[in-house]
Amino acid sequence: MTATDLALPRLRGRLTADAPLGAQSWFRVGGNAEVLARPEDAEDLAGFLRGLSPEIPVRAIGVASNLIIRDGGVPGVVVRLAPRGFGSVRIEADGIVAGAACLDGAVAEHAAKAGLAGLEFLAGIPGSIGGAVAMNAGAYGSAMADVLDWADIVTRVGEALRLPAHALGLGYRRSSLPPGAVVTAARLRATPGDREMIAGRIAAIRATREASQPVRARTGGSTFRNPDPAESSRRAWELIEAAGCRGLALGGAAVSEKHCNFLLNTGGATAGELEALGEMVRAKVRAASGVELVWEIKRIGVPGGLAP
Ligand code: FAD
């Protein structure tokens, strides 16, 4: 199926056929979206999805900080929400309502300026609020599940719903959002606090990250989930280190020396190389410890071979 074969309903926003996605992902790898949809607002998105033939796959992406977009591209419609239309922030007495395209770090800063505590953990996570809901993003002992009141979503069939947090099945870096659903906004709870102390905590989180993670590199964050404690008491990075994978490389892909649960595109890596390196790491960890690492990074689209 090609973009021209897809009978697409009208969108007020932008529809682009064969749209490059890789350059916008944190890894800077990957092929094109068959169609990229950038709706103007939630109503526009809902109308589009209502009219879209049910067999066409739909995938929302945020700022692609947790994604390997495969080299062969992503079939169907990729929905990416733009700050215009989905980037508003509303401060309330005990929380923030943020559009799904808002960056987590910006929401943490808005909260700090408003003297609202409890959202500092978002300061170090480079994704969008939509991605944070979908992944139940978290750090330093807090996660979205602890602060989320509700999320507005548009389902694959174009129904706009406000779901309470408990209906989203949030668990360790996962949610049970229905396939093809798009998060458009979320309300996060916070408590009044001292502005300077909140800003201090944000600065400390950012400094800790700079010191321990390759935050300026072409990466996708934690590659593998930490194993269930019943399977192993060691964290993913410890298992990877013990299996001798720190610094392991394949083509332009490498395991970070700084934090060995991070994969890097050191230059001209392909998605295929990153994924193959990840599988090498899984095989070495399996051989060394018997633990089967599970990908935390989402891999989307179709493979396109190893060659650049
Ligand atoms: P994407 O990567 O674009 O997508 C991730 C998933 O969310 C996909 O399944 C996608 O379909 C879905 N999704 C995205 N937007 C929507 C939407 N609007 N509606 C429905 N589904 C959607 N994560 C942590 O949890 N904690 C950390 O401490 C952390 N540190 C990181 C550090 C670095 C340097 C990097 C690069 C990443 C890190 N991450 C961390 C991973 C990543 O930032 C988070 O998972 C983030 O929540 C992903 O948001 P995103 O907008 O980039 O989503």
Q: How confident is the model at residue 212 (pLDDT cuts 50, 70, 90)?
A: confident
289 is catalytic: no
Taking the whole predicted model, whether its pTM rises above 0.85 is answered as yes
- At 126-176, the pLDDT tens digits run 999 999 999 999 999 999 999 999 999 999 999 999 999 999 999 999 999
- At 252-286, the pLDDT tens digits run 999 999 999 999 999 999 999 999 999 999 999 99
How many independent structural domains does the chain possess?
A: 2
Residue 181 falls within a domain, yes or no? Answer: yes
> Do 190 and 164 lie in a common domain?
yes
Instruction: Flag whether pLDDT at 223 surpasses 70.
Output: yes
Q: How confident is the model at residue 4 (pLDDT cuts 50, 70, 90)?
A: low
Q: Tell me the two tokens of residue 25.
A: 């992902």
The Cα 260–Cα 280 span in angstroms is 13
Instruction: Flag whether pLDDT at 1 surpasses 80.
Output: no
Indicate the residue among 60, 83, 106 that finishes a domain: 83
> Do 159 and 124 lie in a common domain?
yes
- At 7-52, the pLDDT tens digits run 899 999 999 999 999 999 999 999 999 999 999 999 999 999 999 9
> Do 64 and 92 lie in a common domain?
no
Residue 298 falls within a domain, yes or no? Answer: no
What is the percent of the chain where pLDDT is above 70? 97
CA 177 distance to own-chain centroid: 14
Pocket test for ligand 1, best of 79, 135, 258 (most atoms within 8 A of CB): 135
State the pLDDT at residue 192: 97
Instruction: Flag whether pLDDT at 71 surpasses 50.
Output: yes
Residue 164 falls within a domain, yes or no? Answer: yes
Residue 68 falls within a domain, yes or no? Answer: yes
The Cα 32–Cα 184 span in angstroms is 23
> Do 204 and 97 lie in a common domain?
yes
Residue 14 falls within a domain, yes or no? Answer: yes
Once rounded to an integer, what is the mean pLDDT over residues 99-121? Answer: 98
> Do 92 and 190 lie in a common domain?
yes
Indicate the residue among 49, 83, 117 that finishes a domain: 83
Closest ligand 1 atom to residue 183 Cα is: 19
State the pLDDT at residue 274: 98
> Do 89 and 192 lie in a common domain?
yes
> Do 181 and 76 lie in a common domain?
no
> Do 52 and 133 lie in a common domain?
no
What is the percent of the chain where pLDDT is above 90? 93
> Do 179 and 129 lie in a common domain?
yes
> Do 170 and 70 lie in a common domain?
no
Name the catalytic one among 59, 70, 80, 173.
Answer: 173
Regarding the beta carbon of 60 and ligand 1, being less than 6 Å apart is answered: yes
Residue 56 maps to which CATH number? 3.30.43.10
- Rg of the chain in Å (alpha carbons): 20
Regarding the beta carbon of 132 and ligand 1, being less than 6 Å apart is answered: yes
Name the catalytic one among 65, 128, 175, 222.
Answer: 222
Residue 51 falls within a domain, yes or no? Answer: yes
Instruction: Flag whether pLDDT at 308 surpasses 60.
Output: no
Pocket test for ligand 1, best of 25, 36, 45, 66 (most atoms within 8 A of CB): 66
Residue 34 falls within a domain, yes or no? Answer: yes
Residue 161 maps to which CATH number? 3.30.465.10
> Do 92 and 62 lie in a common domain?
no
Regarding the beta carbon of 221 and ligand 1, being less than 6 Å apart is answered: yes
DSSP the chain: --GGGS-----SSEEEEEEE-GGGSTT----EEEEEEE-SSHHHHHHHHHHS-TTS-EEEESS-SSEEE-TT-EEEEEEE--HHHH--EEEETTEEEEETTSBHHHHHHHHHHTTEES-GGGGG--SBHHHHHHHT-EETTEEHHHHEEEEEEE-TTS-EEEEEGGGG--BTTB--PPTT-EEEEEEEE-EE--HHHHHHHHHHHHHHHHHHS-TTSSEEEE-BPPPPTTT-SS-HHHHHHHTT-TT-EETTEEE-SS-TTEEEE-SS--HHHHHHHHHHHHHHHHHHH-----B-SEEES----S--
Indicate the residue among 166, 192, 211 that finishes a domain: 211
Query: Domain residues for 114?
Result: 84-211
Residue 173 falls within a domain, yes or no? Answer: yes
Regarding the beta carbon of 213 and ligand 1, being less than 6 Å apart is answered: yes
> Do 171 and 203 lie in a common domain?
yes
Q: How confident is the model at residue 213 (pLDDT cuts 50, 70, 90)?
A: confident
